[in-house]
Amino acid sequence: MRTALCPGSFDPITKGHLDIILRASRLFDRVVVLVSVNPDKRTAFSVEERVELIRAVTGDLANVEVDAYQGLLVDYARQVGATASIRGLRAVSDFEYEFQMALANKKLDPQLETIFLNTNSKYMYLSSSLVKQIAAFGGDIDDFVPQAIIEPIKQRLSKGVS
Ligand code: COD
């Protein structure tokens, strides 16, 4: 059985993330969406909230699981027998960061491959930060996050982004 990870902050999950998860689920037998710690980001949603939001929109994908982990990605990958980490690439601006991370992970564990899926052109501009900013100012996020989580996100962020 081939297992892949879709790691990220998912603060919160967007339609861009979901598109990558969906496509990964067609390529691998089992996909674990992993809420991980990015030390460079201060998150608005707790780990539990992010996991819950992802579960709410991936429940219909039979081979997709959601988990959270506080350590190194390579350690989690070994624990669950994952052979690939799937990352989404939006624009050239993503590349340097993604490339650095892929090379570091390869150094830490040569068995773990990083696979890049290009963004769906519909979601090229989309990021969690954009969603948080628009929702915090009462804007319409319907085009940016899946239907099932629009209200929870709006309610949570209407009091302002931390
Ligand atoms: N279209 C397509 N892909 C997208 C879109 C979009 N609109 N928006 C985001 N994505 C992609 C991102 O490019 C990324 O690949 C993925 O979705 C998740 O994005 P984020 O922003 O939620 O996640 P990041 O980049 O903050 O995740 C970084 C990790 C948390 C995975 C990283 O810091 C990590 O692995 N942490 C664990 C500790 C570790 O092992 N560190 C060493 C790494 S070298």
User: Which residue, judged by its Cα, is nearest atom 31 of ligand 1?
Assistant: 8
Q: What is the mean pLDDT of residues 69-90?
A: 98
Model pTM score: 0.96
DSSP string across 63-129:
TEEEEEESS-HHHHHHHHTEEEEEEEE-SHHHHHHHHHHHHHHHHH-TTPEEEEEEPPGGGTT--HH
Q: Tell me, what's the pLDDT at 160? A: 54
What was the pLDDT predicted at 93?
84
Asked if the model's pLDDT at residue 161 lies above 90, the reply is: no
Of residues 36, 87, 128, 132, which has the active-site annotation? 128
CA distance 50 to 92: 27
Lowest average pLDDT, out of 58-62, 89-93, 99-103, 156-160, goes to 156-160
Percent of the chain with pLDDT over 90: 88
Q: Cβ(38) to ligand 1 under 6 A?
A: yes
